[in-house]
């Protein structure tokens, strides 16, 4: 089951945190990032996919060293639709931040400096998607289907964040 299917399942499940409002705010934030940078939303989605790949690596490392609860705690602490430099610094070293910006610049044509400026919003957005699967009554408890699916991905480097945002955008227009 793909990441977007997991997210839709969380939206439909009253026991999970996902909601149409959450999806709408993520889609709106992507549009705002697109407007702010003067690029099309698909370029921003590509940036988010690259950021998502690094978020996955960082959360997998956190999960391996400190357990599932630690990874879920990071998601809960930093998920959002507002810029949060602390979210970036908690997951990525300055070298990784620079590397993400360089890779995204190479793939999208955006300036690496602009991408680095987008990271404080991009990281919380990715985490916001992942938070949708958390238990509504006990967010710290295990069983976040979206996060678990994201972390158990096949490791091919292809993160479904861009696809999930694109599908959420289409879904919200219905």
pLDDT digits (tens, 9 = 90+) for 88-141: 999 999 999 999 999 999 999 999 999 999 999 999 999 998 888 888 777 666
- Tell me what the mean pLDDT of segment 130-158 comes to: 72
pLDDT, mean of residues 70-88: 93
Contacts 24+ apart (CB under 8 A), 15-21: 15/135, 15/136, 15/137, 16/132, 16/133, 16/134, 16/135, 16/136, 16/145, 17/131, 17/132, 17/133, 17/134, 17/135, 17/136, 17/139, 18/132, 18/133, 18/146, 19/132, 20/172
What sign does the CA torsion over 161, 168, 63, 151 have? negative
pLDDT winner (highest mean) among 20-24, 25-29, 101-105: 101-105
| Residue predicted with more confidence, 13 or 51 | 51
Whether residue 42 has pLDDT greater than 80: yes
Interatomic CA distance for residues 122 and 131, integer angstroms: 14
pLDDT of 171 above 80: no
pTM score, two decimals? 0.82
Query: For the chain, what is the mean pLDDT?
Result: 84
At residue 145, the pLDDT reads: 78
pLDDT at residue number 157: 45
Task: Please state, in angstroms and rounded to a whole number, the distance separating the CA atoms of residues 28 and 95.
Answer: 30
Q: Which of 16-20, 26-30, 105-109, 120-124 has the lowest mean pLDDT?
A: 16-20
Is the pLDDT assigned to residue 159 strictly greater than 70?
no
If one compares 155 and 49, the residue with the highest pLDDT of the two is 49
């Amino acid at each position: 089951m793909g990441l977007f299917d997991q997210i839709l399942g969380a939206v439909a499940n009253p026991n999970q945190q996902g909601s149409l409002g959450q999806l709408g705010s993520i889609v709106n934030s992507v549009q705002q990032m697109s407007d702010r940078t003067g690029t099309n939303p698909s370029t921003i989605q590509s940036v988010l996919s690259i950021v998502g790949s690094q978020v996955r690596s960082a959360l997998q490392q956190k999960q391996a060293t400190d357990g599932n609860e630690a990874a879920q705690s990071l998601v809960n602490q930093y998920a959002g639709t507002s810029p949060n430099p602390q979210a970036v610094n908690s997951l990525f070293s300055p070298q990784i931040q620079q590397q993400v910006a360089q890779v995204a610049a190479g793939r999208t044509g955006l300036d690496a400096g602009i991408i680095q400026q987008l990271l404080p919003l991009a990281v919380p957005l990715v985490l916001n998607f992942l938070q949708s699967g958390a238990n509504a009554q006990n967010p710290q408890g295990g069983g976040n289907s979206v996060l678990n699916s994201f972390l158990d991905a096949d490791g091919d480097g292809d993160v479904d964040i861009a696809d999930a945002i694109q599908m959420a955008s289409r879904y919200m227009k219905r």
